[in-house]
Structure 1
């Protein structure tokens, strides 16, 4: 019984962490339009150092891969960790005109000898050509399963909406002034079977020819410390 309770708790934590991080796109209503600039430069060895509430981490592009007519750029880390177990996801980015996609691979977990998997997904993170107050939407269903008898597959349904808040702005982060900044918010609403629906909003600031310079969600604040582009 104790092990079953641990599995249920781990599933909730995993799903919650994935929900805060990303979502999967299923919205084909908006056709990609020409980009207004490069708001996330993609080249192997590009890197960004971010400080989140006093803890620094480095996100670096370590490789690229051609899939059909698209090129994905893979990051060195996109980690999730929570009490009772750890999971890590491989993340990559691709750009189609002014649409910025994030792709997350399946996540494999191991805790107390119990293994599990959460299915991966791909979504449109940002549309740089939209005007202020314009939105994009998407939804997905994510599944988490465990190799423990009697534990059902846990399904998570997510709907999201991105909204452009500012364009062509100037933002100062860590005493550095950035021009041509777009600010947008990303609202995610999640519903797990048998659980009460919840939502979270993340605000992002992205600077032309730089990338993400700031993001906030509640009391959590991440700011750009330094970056290096090839």
Structure 2
């Protein structure tokens, strides 16, 4: 039971934070986030050489209600990514997006909901991830939310940033006299600016003022040792948002390209 649940939670994490396509069970498109859960934001949003640069160079992912982006993968359009509302968490305003590149789910017989909240502060764009898993077979599961930076538009080509976070999963088994230990997942996010102010053509459309980044996500469950790593390259166009992503997870490569968008 425990190994199955841990495997399910890893799938939740990777589909929630990654720019990766997976065959997972769909979730409700608009969710009520539980703001009473303890937030665990990234605790090392640093840059190389380590000093925070100036203000934002522009808006490389515009946040407004009803903005949406439709990506194509393998010749088929994915579900639109749409900003549905705003939420306040710890006195900070976030924009709720109905999914983040792909649907989220747990698989292995467990169905869960992942809520994605976007925020921009200065030149840093972050996503807050919270996961809710309904009780199954007499077991209730609580997963702590976390937040990480996925883009810094005020860095120069070659500069990097690193963010870390911790996700804690707690279990309660009805009628069990022995408590189950928490599962702790340590997360590392590493970004780098590969190109800036370039012109890129995607699906026959030419975009100017584009930033290209590399982004590495590493997840390690304490006591298990195995790393789950996803490497991505993502392109963001000024005043439009993400226009392309290429992700590598193991031996699989997934490419998503912007098909259409609405920006208010």
TM-score exceeds 0.5:
yes
| 1:72 counterpart = 2:94 | yes
Greater shift in the superposed pair: 22-31 or 167-176: 22-31
Q: 1:34 aligns with which of 55, 58, 68?
A: 55
Deviation for aligned residue 1:206: 0.6
Partner of 2:36: none
CA contact (8 A) 1:102 1:125 kept: yes
Q: CA RMSD in A?
A: 2.3
Provide the C-alpha distance between the structure 2 equivalents of 1:199 and 1:158, rounded to a whole number of angstroms: 10
Q: 1:161 to 1:86 in 2, by over 3 A?
A: same
| 1:199 counterpart = 2:229 | yes
Deviation for aligned residue 1:156: 0.8
Number of equivalenced pairs = 225
Partner of 2:109: 84
Q: Which ranges in structure 2 are unaligned for 5 or more consecutive residues?
A: 19-40
Q: 1:178 to 1:21 in 2, by over 3 A?
A: same
CA contact (8 A) 1:170 1:177 kept: yes
TM-score by length of 1: 0.87
Counterparts in 2 of 1:75-114, with a 5 A limit? 75-78=97-100, 79-81=103-105, 82-111=107-136, 114=139
CA contact (8 A) 2:8 2:110 kept: no
Provide the C-alpha distance between the structure 1 equivalents of 2:141 and 2:172, rounded to a whole number of angstroms: 6
Q: 2:194 aligns with which of 160, 165, 178?
A: 165
Greater shift in the superposed pair: 46-55 or 130-139: 46-55
Greater shift in the superposed pair: 37-46 or 197-206: 197-206
SS of 2:66's equivalent in the other structure is: coil
